[in-house]
Amino acid sequence: DTGVSQNPRHKITKRGQNVTFRCDPISEHNRLYWYRQTLGQGPEFLTYFQNEAQLEKSRLLSDRFSAERPKGSFSTLEIQRTEQGDSAMYLCASSSQKRTSGTDTQYFGPGTRLTVL
Amino acid sequence: SQELEQSPQSLIVQEGKNLTINCTSSKTLYGLYWYKQKYGEGLIFLMMLQKGGEEKSHEKITAKLDEKKQQSSLHITASQPSHAGIYLCGAVFTSGTYKYIFGTGTRLKVLA
């Protein structure tokens, strides 16, 4: 098991451009999460998938953000018309639902650092 | 997040010294996770605590969850430069919750 992977690791873009990030979770993990982390802060929840279904989106996720997990495996996070305030580290995590209740341990990828000029 | 307060915000210790990081919540925690993050990288899972009074250890790192399940501490014994990084506590407040609430982190530097 190679862990959660994210691509690209770094992205520099100009304001107004669209960007897309990819996350490959640990194989057979059915849950996938996106978080955003700005300098000096802890990660903030953005959205969550169980298999291919997107079950919750944070208010932080504006209309310019869209996430997909088409086959219940990898996921993409797209930001349209990027703004300087979108500059952050975007973290992906995955977990395996082993119980009907309780919480799962989330395993994080290395993140994609976005810089919007 | 204001739901979870970490202290101290930063810490510089001499190699070999012990240290403690605290994570405090105003609400009862269902689960508490400790992660370590190297600067500019992802989070590495350290430990998960769920039961009041629970204590877990991994190598030189010990984490405890108090009986009231509102505070956790992370203790490093005989710190090494490899312990340097950002320590984050992440919490879940109810059963079945899937999103973590994170503290702002504690930045640890260990001087050789």
The answer to whether A107 faces chain B, any CB pair under 8 Å, is yes
Which residues of chain B are modeled with pLDDT < 50?
1
DSSP letter, residue A105: P
| Residues B44, A108: C-beta atoms closer than 8 Å | yes
Measured between beta carbons, the chain A residues lying within 8 angstroms of B69 are none
> What is the Cα–Cα distance from B64 to B7, expressed in whole angstroms?
15
Instruction: Check residue B44 and give its pLDDT.
Output: 95
What pLDDT does B79 receive? 97
Any chain B CB within 8 A of the CB of A48? yes
Asked whether A46 and A59 are in contact (CB, 8 A), the reply is no
A101 pLDDT tier (thresholds 50, 70, 90): low
Phi, psi values for residue A86, rounded to 5°: -80, -10
Non-local CB neighbours of A100 within 8 Å, separated by 6+ positions: none
Q: Report, in this order, helix, strand and coil percent for chain B, each rounded to 5.
A: 5, 55, 45
**What residue type is B53 in one-letter code?**
G
Q: Cβ–Cβ of B105/A56 closer than 8 Å?
A: no
Q: Quick check: A46 contacting B, CB < 8 Å?
A: no
On the question of pLDDT at A103 being above 80, the answer is no
**Lowest mean per-residue pLDDT among A20-24, A26-30, B13-17:** A26-30
What residues of B are in the A interface, CB distance below 8 Å? 1, 4, 30-31, 33, 35, 40-45, 48, 50, 88, 90, 92, 95-105
Across the interface, whether the CB atoms of B42 and A43 are under 8 A apart is answered: no
